[in-house]
Amino acid sequence: MINEFTTLGPIHFIRSSRAKRISISIRGTKVRVAVPVGVPMEKAKEFVLSKQDWILKHLKKFNALQNEYQQSNEDSSTIGRFEAKKLLISKLETLAEKHGFSYNRVFVKNQKTLWGSCSAKKNINLNYKLILLPGELQEYVILHELVHLKHRNHSNKFWQELATYCTRYQQLRKELRKYRLEFM
């Protein structure tokens, strides 16, 4: 059920047998409210109104990020996918050789949710949109995937190994979260 709130726009109310309490989630400009079975819809609407400031704050934050990414895309729109692929593969080869990693194959794709991944077959997948990130973040993502060649999970050993190649990995990891693929 979709309700229109004058200041918030459309809100999607969804009955959920798994929900234990009313919860609000925001994905981009979509506001979703999970309502447990047995809770009156009127109570859910009151809850949304009580959280109106919080919802507006997050919607404004999304709009600001979206504007920032649009500017970023305009600045780098001259680089095509083919050029991005060449540059990213070159960076991967350089970092792998420098740090003694060997991988099977590399694929540069348009992934919707991942900056990169590493398969059990030692194939590395990179998102071509990495090229839109600052160079230091590109290197962080590539090193992150290279370390997965040795450690297939995010254990303490993985993070310790990554720290030997990228001492600022915690700061860069935090910074990477500011960049969301849905905008790019």
> Poorest-confidence range of 27-31, 69-73, 101-105, 124-128?
69-73
Q: What share of the chain in percent tops pLDDT 90?
A: 59
Mean pLDDT value across residues 26-43: 88
Higher-confidence residue: 31 or 104? Answer: 104
Secondary structure letter of residue 149 according to DSSP: T
Is this prediction's pTM over 0.95?
no
pLDDT of residue 76: 47
Give pLDDT tens digits for 83-110: 889 999 999 999 999 999 999 999 999 8
> Poorest-confidence range of 9-18, 76-85, 147-156, 172-181?
76-85
Give alpha helix (H) positions in the chain.
41-50, 52-75, 81-99, 135-147, 156-165, 169-176
Mean pLDDT of the chain: 86
Helix, strand, coil percentages (3-state) for the chain, rounded to 5, are 50, 20, 30
pLDDT of residue 112: 83
Tell me which CATH code domain 81-183 carries.
3.30.2010.10
Q: How many CA atoms lie within 13 A of 39 on its CB side?
A: 21
Location of each CATH 3.30.2010.10 domain in the chain: 81-183
